[in-house]
Structure 1
Amino acid sequence: MIKGLKVQLKPNNKQRTKLLQSAGVARFAYNWTLNRQIENYKNGGKFIPNGELRKEFTKLKQTEEYSWLNNYSNNITKQAIKDACDAYIKFFMGESKYPRFKSKKRSKPSFYVDTSKIQFNGTHVKLEKLTTSRKRNKQKINWTRLCEHERIPYGDNVKYINPRVSFDGINWWISVGVEYEETKEIPTNEGIGIDLGIEKLAVISDGSVYKNINKTKKVKQLEKREKRLQRKVSKKYEMNKIKMKGGEIRYKKTNNIIKLENQLKKLNQRLTNVRHNYSHQVTTEIIKRKPSFIVVEDLNVAGMMKNKHLSKAIQQQGFYVFYRQLQYKCEWSNIKFIIADRFFPSSKTCSGCGNYKKDLKLSDRKYVCGLCGFVLDRDYNASLNLKNYGQLAISQ
């Protein structure tokens, strides 16, 4: 079993510069590969294999114009060329759109680290060729500090898969796949159904209710600060508006605007982290109960987002993040993860007698069965129906 781990880096100024340059080298190699493939296709040639392009790129590095590439790890460029070739193949197989050139401004800076060269020691990670000097005091630059100690396992028996260093605009991160032994224990506790919603994030069939984190005081205060910063940035742009000769309007980006935009980025990231952290806490707590199966609805989020009154609330809940976290945690713990059919009427069906109530409105927060007189919370009733759905799916 392979688990993906992502830890924030704490580089110094020299390391930050070198990391950014390494990401630039990866972008250069990727764009060079795409350009070669496009030129070759226009001239009537067939797809150039990854191996041939690597050899060509090695010769390019030997020229005086591109000798600067030798100051960086050759594994960065090798993997960037492979990634570009894979993107090109996926396009011709109809699996993805046509690959685009990576932009310095818009693309996410990232690069690959070779699995045989990367080293962890609990507090630091060693990245290849951040310095070309062989002096012992200079070699320390290769060791970058980790924000979370002992998070990534280390030792001779640990195998690392596809390590990548990336930059999100504020912080540097390292993500790596680590091979773990599979858990053989199979949970035997009663299965559960989970009803997701806007008023409450999740209602569980065992009676547990998880609140909507976006309604808490902490998140509301952060959103208020975000709005104020957005207004400040907007006003600064309006103050620095320049009218050109042809009537075209341009906006001058000052140092104050850059400072405010950086503050806004940090605040946006903090809000995202608060929501993701809460989602992790909820999913982990559910998995710790060790149910035999978990059932969730296949919600039509794209359709729900068309409602202009609810679209913001739906987007903030992050249903996809919740699904993804729950799914991979179920795989780690040998729990059956079942997705109920999109058209399964979990809310309109009575969990007591199975009666279908066609005229149930969204404003009706209590489910009142017209046949057996069963009265229950709407979301709790849906979670019980989802649990029954899972029991039928397993028995068939």
Structure 2
Amino acid sequence: MAKRAYKYRFYPTPEQEVLLARTFGCVRFVYNTVLRYRTDAFFERQEKIGYTEASAYLTAMKKTEDTAFLNEVSSVSLQQCLRHQQSAFRNFFAGRARYPSFKKKRGRQSAEFTRSAFQYRDGRLFLAKCREPLNIRWSRDLPSEPTSINISMDTAGRYFVSCLCEFDPEALPTTPKTVGIDLGLKDLFVTSDGHRIGNPRHLAKYAAKLARDQRRLSRKQLGSSNRAKARKKVARIHAKISDCRMDYLHKVSRQIVHENQVICVESLKVKNLLRNPHLAKAISDVGWGEFVRQLAYKAEWAGRTLVAIDRWFPSTQRCSACGHVAGRIPLSVRNWVCQACSTEHDRDENAALNIKAAGLAVLALGEDVRPAT
């Protein structure tokens, strides 16, 4: 059994909208207040606050007159936000993430509910302290009863519910095909078979409209209702771009996993690549990290094998025919000739072939494909 989240959009009633707004506000308030409490305790008294102490602090807050409004919402979502904060601190101390940051009022809002705070009956979902079920657009059936749900509202004002369910992944039939994938900007990726999957450049399609609405937003008076409306228009454009990007990545990643038994990809440090001021916007738009992430979990569910080669492997510089390393090749050079064997290479196809060969070597022998120094 594996766990999978199924995300649906829903449309709350006015009563539910008020309850959710209050819940989001309380979750944000508790998270920020406890984060400030833990930070001050360490820097002022060198005292480390864990989840147990944070939970006790929340209990004391509920008994205080000024913060008694926390009792108006489900206590489960408040406890869950403290668990998420504890996970954030654990990732920080392990070096996997930055120091936890405060939640913003105008950012994405969310609240998590466990089984004690919701009911799922006859295909309908009821939240705690809510009489009517959520008006969910069920695009597909749930495989089982949710173990937990996450209610969220994005910056465009859309509401979503994510249901975490247990399911049995079905392995796809075994196929002899293997593929190497070279990620790029001109094309999203090029395979070792010579197939090119184009980069749709979603951000460029809406760049003019986005710039126009951002200029209009900058002219609105701070705190006015017109500024709030203009901000929502800009948020809708960003949401449209994000939805288009995710839809495209899901389709191409599913196609790759469906057709190939072994998938070889590069191990890219996208955060480091984003430091390039000339390519940062294009790299963010293409979504390399999200694409590889989707390949990883879809391959696991489908019984496929994903191999990530060392990020220092010279896939572009190495000749796929004789193995000669040509040295640094500028990004503007799309075709080059090997000096050792005179083979003419397409830059991306040659890299994909090398990635496939290195991935199969790692899979079969566990070899280190990093070049010798």
Which structure 1 residue ranges, 5 or more long, are not aligned? 131-138, 241-251
TM-fit CA distance, 1:394: 1.9
Indicate if the aligned counterparts of 2:192 and 2:356 stay in contact, CA closer than 8 A: yes
Task: Give the distance between the partners of 2:320 and 2:124, measured in 1 at CA.
Answer: 54
TM-fit CA distance, 1:18: 1.0
User: Are residues 1:377 and 2:333 paired?
Assistant: no
Mapping 1:170-319, distance limit 5 Å = 170=156, 171-183=158-170, 187-214=174-201, 220-234=204-218, 236-237=219-220, 252-289=222-259, 291-319=260-288
Cα 1:255–1:362 shift into 2, 3 Å: same
- From 143, 146, 152, give the equivalent of 1:166: 152
Which amino acid in structure 2 is aligned with residue 297 of structure 1? E
Higher-Rg structure is 1
Indicate if the aligned counterparts of 2:309 and 2:362 stay in contact, CA closer than 8 A: no
User: Are residues 1:326 and 2:295 paired?
Assistant: yes
Indicate if the aligned counterparts of 1:123 and 1:148 stay in contact, CA closer than 8 A: no
Q: TM-score, normalised by structure 1?
A: 0.80
3-state SS of the aligned residue for 1:213?
Answer: coil
Which amino acid in structure 1 is aligned with residue 176 of structure 2? N
Cα 1:43–1:345 shift into 2, 3 Å: closer
TM-fit CA distance, 1:211: 0.5
**Matched residue, 2:314:** 345
Indicate if the aligned counterparts of 2:118 and 2:128 stay in contact, CA closer than 8 A: yes
**Matched residue, 2:129:** 129
**Matched residue, 1:28:** 29
Task: Give the distance between the partners of 2:187 and 2:360, measured in 1 at CA.
Answer: 25
Task: Give the distance between the partners of 1:13 and 1:329, measured in 2 at CA.
Answer: 38
Which amino acid in structure 2 is aligned with residue 273 of structure 1? D
TM-fit CA distance, 1:63: 6.2
TM-fit CA distance, 1:310: 2.7
Deviates more, 1:301-310 or 1:15-24: 301-310
**Matched residue, 1:247:** none
Cα 1:343–1:67 shift into 2, 3 Å: closer
**Matched residue, 1:248:** none
Number of residue pairs aligned between Structure 1 and Structure 2: 363
Deviates more, 1:191-200 or 1:145-154: 145-154
3-state SS of the aligned residue for 1:325?
Answer: helix
TM-fit CA distance, 1:54: 4.4
**Matched residue, 1:244:** none
Indicate if the aligned counterparts of 2:4 and 2:167 stay in contact, CA closer than 8 A: yes
Cα 1:253–1:364 shift into 2, 3 Å: same
3-state SS of the aligned residue for 1:3?
Answer: strand
TM-fit CA distance, 1:351: 1.7
TM-fit CA distance, 1:220: 4.0
Which amino acid in structure 2 is aligned with residue 149 of structure 1? S
Indicate if the aligned counterparts of 2:179 and 2:356 stay in contact, CA closer than 8 A: yes
Which amino acid in structure 2 is aligned with residue 118 of structure 1? F
Cα 1:335–1:40 shift into 2, 3 Å: same
**Deviations 1:57-83, CA, capped at 9 Å, x for gaps:** 556546665554333222122223434
The structure 1 segments of at least 4 consecutive aligned residues displaced by more than 6 Å after TM superposition are none
Task: Give the distance between the partners of 1:338 and 1:50, measured in 2 at CA.
Answer: 37
Which amino acid in structure 2 is aligned with residue 30 of structure 1? Y
Which structure 2 residue ranges, 5 or more long, are not aligned? 366-373
Task: Give the distance between the partners of 1:176 and 1:57, measured in 2 at CA.
Answer: 27
TM-fit CA distance, 1:37: 4.5
**Matched residue, 1:115:** 115
